Chains A and B, each alone.
Chain A
Amino acid sequence: GPKVLQIPSHQIIDMGQMVTLNCDPVSNHLYFYWYKQILGQQMEFLVNFYNGKVMEKSKLFKDQFSVERPDGSYFTLKIQPTALEDSAVYFCASSLTGGNTGQLYFGEGSKLTVL
């Protein structure tokens, strides 16, 4: 089936550094999402993005976070600067349509470890 690819699968960085997590969504999809999962907790919505704009973001989407998808390339999540509490697995997802029904396609996650 359709696949969402995430790069890197795992990254270890020092606190205060910048990190960019990359997502290659399903090719014809228009809506893009990031979710965060801390070990042992549920996946939590961070942000969704459509037509070059953030549609909605949660309180977890701190000022240090930003998303973009320049010219149809990777959909990226940038964290600058990183903090210890940013350690988590970040899942990218995409969907063809908006609205709250229908299918989200998830990537396998990027595990971020902040030391």
Chain B
Amino acid sequence: QQQVRQSPQSLTVWEGETTILNCSYEDSTFDYFPWYRQFPGKSPALLIAISLVSNKKEDGRFTIFFNKREKKLSLHITDSQPGDSATYFCAASKAGNTRKLIFGLGTTLQVQP
């Protein structure tokens, strides 16, 4: 059973559009939600993260919106660029001494010029 769900599975947008990637989770004890981006053949890299104390986290063109009541997050990418084409993973973890991340299946984004 997926503890972290992502939608859509894949997405194609035009350059300049806003991309919205969705993530939801079940476990109410999760309190930290990083998004990782992975280019083909490369390692996943941390893009942006949010914790339970925030409703929104912004970093340049990337913004996470967090609806705690519904256990839903979304990653918005404004002014999407062809260089943003990658797979985006939502992940979740619980407070504690270990960094056990629970990953979603990912959303593969293609930005067309």
Count of CB-CB pairs between chains A and B under 8 Å:
71
Size category of the binding interface on chain A: 20 to 34
Q: Known contacts being A41-B105, A42-B104, is A108 close to B99, with CB within 8 Å?
A: no
Residues A91 and B44 in contact, CB atoms below 8 Å apart? yes
Residues B32 and A42 in contact, CB atoms below 8 Å apart? no
Most buried by B among A44, A45, A56, A102: A45
Q: Is A27 an interface residue (CB 8 A)?
A: no
Q: Known contacts being A100-B32, A103-B46, A104-B46, is A42 close to B98, with CB within 8 Å?
A: no
- Give every chain B residue within 8 A of A98 (Cβ-Cβ): 97-99
**A23-40, CB < 8 A from B:** 31, 33, 35
Residues A108 and B104 in contact, CB atoms below 8 Å apart? no
A95 CA to B93 CA, complexed, in Å: 15
- Give every chain B residue within 8 A of A91 (Cβ-Cβ): 43-44
Q: Is A12 an interface residue (CB 8 A)?
A: no
Residues A56 and B98 in contact, CB atoms below 8 Å apart? yes
| Contacts from A to B (Cβ < 8 Å) | 1, 4, 31, 33, 35, 41-45, 48, 55-56, 58, 91, 93, 95, 98-109
